[in-house]
Amino acid sequence: MQRKTIFLVLSLPVFLFSCVSTKKFKASEARYADLSGKYNTLQGQLDECQRNLRDTTAAFARSRNQSEERVEGLKQNNNVLLNQLKDLSVISNSQAESIKKSLDNIGAKDAYIQDLQSAIARKDSLNMALVMNLKGAIGNLDDKDINIKVEKGVVYIDISDKLLFESGSYDITARAKEVLGKVAKVLAAQPEIEFMVEGHTDTNPYKRGVLLDNWDLSVKRATAVTRVLQNDYGIPPARITAAGRGEYVPVAGNDTAEGRALNRRTRIIILPQLDQFFKLLERKQ
């Protein structure tokens, strides 16, 4: 009996240690599975970005080659045509030279178009990289609460009002500051980018205190987000434009609760850098 008691006393720490180790091992396994899932998601997004970039680069290269072939063909046709005209004495040498300059301008304009196509392709690549950075920074938030997309060369970040504000309020919630901080981190890393913060509402009538309607509410929500980006996360205010669109740019019908929820949103728009295109337009031919 005494031996059994001694054996149980000696075995008890080993048994307890085994239980604790098993729990820690299972917790580690679950943590590893979660991290592996997140890694695979980010890797998939990166692969998609790289595929899109390769496709854009290849399309631009094909377009450039085709343009160069057209320019070379035009030059050859120009020379043949001018020689034929001179041989026939239809035009004078000065007239032929004038025509040659006009035809050369066609080649210059083709090169100009190539420059524009190159700028557009570069901008599309930068936008895709920006979208991937934003999605990576924000993580696995529900797409109903935050949606990042590119339309017609412009990056849009749509954030639902329930993520940012209490109902009928323009006071930023604590959770909203966390999300805006992640967005601000990406925007701060791109100091040349300017952006607009737009407030949007549904059609339900609104009036409270000094706010007369949905116009006022949408503007106050836009400026509330702008102040957080400026004051809490150091985004220079000169880079930000705040605007209120009220109920007048809906993305869904206002006849259902789901549609109204989609319409109540704050949109951050990455503004196109038009100065690059203006410089190209001003370039002397």
| DSSP secondary structure, 116-129, as one string | HHHHHHHHHHHHHH
pTM given for the model: 0.58
269/236 same-domain check: yes
275/165 same-domain check: yes
147/275 same-domain check: yes
Instruction: Give the domain-ending residue among 140, 161, 185.
Output: 140
Domain CATH number, residue 269: 3.30.1330.60
**More confident call, 197 vs 155:** 197
Please write the tens of the pLDDT for every residue from 131-184.
777 777 777 655 568 888 888 778 888 999 888 998 788 999 988 888 899 899
Q: What is the pLDDT of residue 18?
A: 54
114/180 same-domain check: no
CA 238 to CA 194: how far, in whole Å? 8
Residue 203 neighbours by CB distance under 10 Å: 16
207/77 same-domain check: no
136/227 same-domain check: no
Beta bridge partners of 172: 165
160/243 same-domain check: yes
**Over 90: is that where the pLDDT of 114 sits?**
no
Q: What is the pLDDT of residue 97?
A: 67
**Over 50: is that where the pLDDT of 280 sits?**
no
135/146 same-domain check: no
Instruction: Give the domain-ending residue among 112, 140, 168.
Output: 140
DSSP run (H or E) holding 268: strand 265-270
117/184 same-domain check: no
**Over 90: is that where the pLDDT of 231 sits?**
yes
Q: What percent of the chain has pLDDT over 70?
A: 66
* 3-class DSSP state of 248: coil
Q: What is the pLDDT of residue 46?
A: 73
Least confident residue range of 121-125, 165-169, 171-175, 252-256: 121-125
Helices (H), the chain: 2-87, 93-138, 161-164, 174-188, 214-227, 257-263, 274-282
146/13 same-domain check: no
**More confident call, 225 vs 66:** 225
Q: Give the structural domain span for 42.
A: 1-140
70 pLDDT band, cuts 50/70/90, is confident
Instruction: Give the domain-ending residue among 121, 140, 159.
Output: 140
Long-range contacts of 276-284 (CB under 8 A, 24+ apart): 276/119, 276/123, 277/116, 277/119, 280/112, 280/115, 280/116, 280/119, 283/112
185/72 same-domain check: no
Q: What is the pLDDT of residue 223?
A: 96
201/125 same-domain check: no
CA 81 to CA 75: how far, in whole Å? 10
Tokens of 116: 């524009």
Query: Looking at residues 237-245, what average pLDDT do you find?
Result: 95
Domain count, the chain: 2
